[in-house]
Amino acid sequence: MVINIERDNNTCILRISGRLATGMDDEYLLVKTREIKAMACPNVLLDIRELHSVGSSGIGFFVDLYTSVLKNGTGRLVLAAPSPYVQEVLDLTGLSKIIPIVGDLAAARAFLAPTSKSASGD
């Protein structure tokens, strides 16, 4: 598995490729989790287009990030572009009912965009 992290203003973008499976690079996953949390991004976009499979370690990774982002009350996290297989795992675990999932990166960016409140003086 490879997790590349970049920061774009208030959003951390994680590009995850390979397999997030139990027993595979658990130490690497722990290091990346700490790195992401240390960045203190209010919003996190998980680009999982290149994620081929996900196991319990990956599910735990997603849940850990999701709960840490939501702790501040204003943060958001979104999963973008899962493969059909990964989507099936997310559905079977019930995670798709908790963490927002969108079909592509444009929809993920729109989901994380600050909402502008209309200042109409009706």
Q: Is residue 120 part of a domain?
A: no
How many structural domains is the chain composed of? 1
Domain that holds residue 47: 2-110
Q: How far apart are CA 9 and CA 14, in angstroms?
A: 14
What predicted TM-score, i.e. pTM, was given to this entire model?
0.89
Give pLDDT tens digits along the chain (122 positions).
899 999 999 999 999 999 987 776 788 888 999 999 999 999 999 999 999 999 998 999 999 999 999 987 889 999 999 999 999 999 999 999 999 999 999 999 999 998 744 344 44
Q: Is residue 118 part of a domain?
A: no
Q: Is residue 27 part of a domain?
A: yes
The CATH number covering residue 104 comes to 3.30.750.24
Q: Is residue 71 part of a domain?
A: yes
Q: Is residue 98 part of a domain?
A: yes
Q: Is residue 116 part of a domain?
A: no
